[in-house]
């Protein structure tokens, strides 16, 4: 993509599969460089965003010099207009362990370091809704102090995704900062869609659009039976949301239905539409405490990194990755690469497709925030995604969205802008064996083993899976088939 005076340039940190990048691009902001730790979301990001250079690795090992070098190579400029990103939230999440000493919390300060180095005209930091209050507000107050010392004016709020046309209950904390004189004061985007509760509706202006329901989000996607995959949407479009997500793309990826054990199916069958696991008689319950069947006439429950809390409104199965992606407002041409899911043990290291979707900022929410940022930055509002190029890449996708997941054909080698934290190009995994060993976090576990693989190696020292890991994969194989 050419640089342009009217096209604000951004850096996306902790970029995941790229929900935030996707929405910013739709608003005309160019995330020219992104940083993400895990190989699988990095692959997804690089595959779907041909205009972004993706640095895959631990941000703590990345020098600011290399970050700037990649920015200059990509844009011809050494400055950015925006630094955006969501440092990992587990340490701050109300759903996770609220440990003040969780080392991941310090990743948050990596974000501050990049802002301090580049002094962008604006920054956008997103996180879990509990961010502001966590640890008695310590992280929030420290962040506010650091950003204020750097000269930024700050605003923060908690945004509701469904108010921006996303068919899902999902709240995010967002903080925006701007440098007075370099960007206009930031104004939050106005909600476009109505309230969740009909009783509350009269409080909102009538021009708000109705909420997008679960049915309006996914009813055009084939009702795949467990174990089956559909490569076309298969059913007629029934809403403008569906039409927008298809946007003329009739090839479908990531739409494979999990095969569940009989016990799980029995458990699902006791839960009526819109109701929870509390309906299941004690003798048919598993250890799970949270599970709900989607209500087709309402918005979806929050899409989480683990897929097994939700059941399809008609079928006795969890939603497919594609259905989850629709609840997150990803377009159908956006392909999630890597393993579809992973077992209990490996979820500590792995970022398979379901997790990539669940971790993402919904693109439509990112777009709404991007449009608001554009009002301050004065950039041209246009969709700058490389849609044609992305779709041409669809022919590189190999495998099924089944357990083994998607890899890329050797044809893709050297064509994704994907680098490690030392700036070296990363070879692509082109087989599922490669995929099974690419997880950077596992390198630590396997550091004493020797690498005997010839290709698809993400970095030196990644070992062939041990017998123990293979055995684990057996466990994972079963778990992948559902709860």
Ligand X SMILES: C[S@@+](CC[C@H](N)C(=O)[O-])C[C@H]1O[C@@H](n2cnc3c(N)ncnc32)[C@H](O)[C@@H]1O
**Binding positions for ligand X, rule: CB under 6 A:** 14-20, 35-38, 41, 58-60, 86, 88, 107, 351, 359-361
Q: How many CB atoms lie within 10 A of CB 94?
A: 12
- The token duo for 333 is 């041409």
- Give residue for tokens 């669809």: 394
Closest CA to 164 of 176, 156, 172: 172
3-state helix, strand, coil in the chain (%, to 5): 35, 15, 50
Instruction: Quote the least distance from Cβ 133 to ligand X, whole Å.
Output: 19
- The token duo for 423 is 């700036």
Distance CA 416, CA 438 (A): 16
- Give residue for tokens 């076309």: 232
Instruction: Quote the least distance from Cβ 350 to ligand X, whole Å.
Output: 10
Instruction: Quote the least distance from Cβ 39 to ligand X, whole Å.
Output: 10
Instruction: Quote the least distance from Cβ 252 to ligand X, whole Å.
Output: 20
Choose between 13 and 271: whose C-beta lies nearer to ligand X: 13
Distance CA 177, CA 147 (A): 8
Choose between 313 and 336: whose C-beta lies nearer to ligand X: 336
Instruction: Quote the least distance from Cβ 360 to ligand X, whole Å.
Output: 3
Closest CA to 111 of 90, 89, 79: 89
Choose between 273 and 445: whose C-beta lies nearer to ligand X: 445
Choose between 111 and 147: whose C-beta lies nearer to ligand X: 111
Closest CA to 269 of 287, 257, 255, 281: 281
Instruction: Quote the least distance from Cβ 60 to ligand X, whole Å.
Output: 6
Contact (CB, 8 A) for 343 and 480: yes
Instruction: Quote the least distance from Cβ 97 to ligand X, whole Å.
Output: 16
User: What SS3 state is found at 375?
Assistant: helix
Closest CA to 147 of 173, 120, 172: 120
| Given 56, 89, 369, 479, the catalytic residue | 89
Q: How many CB atoms lie within 10 A of CB 103?
A: 9
Torsion of CA 460, 461, 467, 469, to 10 degrees: -90
Choose between 17 and 222: whose C-beta lies nearer to ligand X: 17
Distance CA 338, CA 453 (A): 19
Q: Is 249 a catalytic residue?
A: no
Choose between 88 and 370: whose C-beta lies nearer to ligand X: 88
Q: Say if residue 187 is exposed, middle or buried (CB neighbours under 10 Å; 0-12, 13-18, 19+).
A: exposed
Which residues belong to the active site?
89
């Amino acid at each position: 993509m050419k640089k342009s005076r009217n096209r604000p340039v951004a850096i996306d940190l902790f970029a995941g599969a790229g929900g935030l990048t996707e929405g910013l691009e739709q608003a005309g902001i160019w995330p020219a460089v992104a940083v993400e730790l895990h190989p699988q979301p990095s692959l997804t990001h690089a595959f779907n965003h041909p205009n972004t250079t993706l640095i895959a690795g631990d941000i703590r090992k990345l020098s600011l010099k290399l970050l700037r070098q990649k920015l200059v190579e990509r844009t011809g400029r050494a400055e950015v207009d925006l630094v955006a990103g969501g440092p990992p939230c587990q340490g701050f999440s109300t759903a996770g362990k609220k440990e003040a000493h969780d080392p991941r919390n310090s990743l948050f300060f990596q974000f501050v370091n990049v802002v301090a180095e580049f002094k962008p005209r604006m920054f956008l930091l997103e996180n879990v809704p509990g961010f502001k209050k966590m640890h008695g507000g310590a992280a929030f107050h420290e962040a506010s102090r650091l950003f204020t010392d750097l000269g930024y004016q700050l605003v923060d709020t908690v945004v509701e995704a469904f108010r921006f046309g996303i068919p899902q209950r999902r709240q995010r904390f967002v903080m925006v900062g701007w440098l007075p004189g370099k960007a206009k004061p930031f104004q939050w985007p106005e909600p476009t869609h109505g309230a969740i509760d009909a009783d509350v509706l009269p409080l909102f202006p009538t021009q708000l659009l109705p909420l997008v329901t679960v049915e309006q989000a996914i009813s055009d996607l084939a009702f795949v039976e467990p174990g089956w995959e559909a490569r076309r949407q298969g059913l007629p479009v029934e809403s403008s949301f569906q039409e927008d997500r298809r946007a003329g793309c009739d090839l479908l990826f990531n739409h494979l239905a999990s095969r569940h054990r009989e016990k799980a199916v029995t458990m699902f069958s006791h839960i009526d539409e819109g109701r929870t696991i509390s309906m299941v008689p004690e003798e048919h319950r598993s250890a799970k405490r949270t599970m709900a069947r989607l209500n087709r006439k309402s918005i979806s429950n929050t899409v989480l990194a683990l897929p097994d809390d939700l059941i399809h409104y008609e079928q006795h199965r969890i939603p497919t990755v594609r259905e989850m992606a629709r609840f997150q407002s990803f377009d159908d041409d956006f392909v999630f690469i890597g393993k579809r899911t992973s077992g209990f043990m490996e979820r500590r290291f792995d970022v398979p497709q379901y997790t990539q979707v669940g971790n993402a900022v919904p693109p439509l929410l990112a777009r709404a925030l991007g449009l608001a940022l554009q009002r301050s930055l004065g950039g041209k509002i246009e969709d700058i995604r490389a849609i044609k190029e992305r779709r041409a890449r669809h022919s590189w996708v190999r495998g099924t969205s089944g357990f083994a997941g998607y890899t890329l054909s050797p044809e893709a080698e050297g064509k994704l802008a994907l680098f490690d934290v030392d700036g070296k190009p990363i070879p692509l995994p082109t087989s599922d064996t490669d995929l099974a060993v690419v997880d950077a976090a596992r390198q630590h576990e396997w550091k004493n083993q020797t690498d005997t693989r010839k290709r698809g190696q993400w970095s030196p020292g990644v070992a062939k899976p041990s017998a123990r890991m293979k055995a684990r994969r057996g466990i994972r194989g079963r778990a992948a088939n559902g709860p």
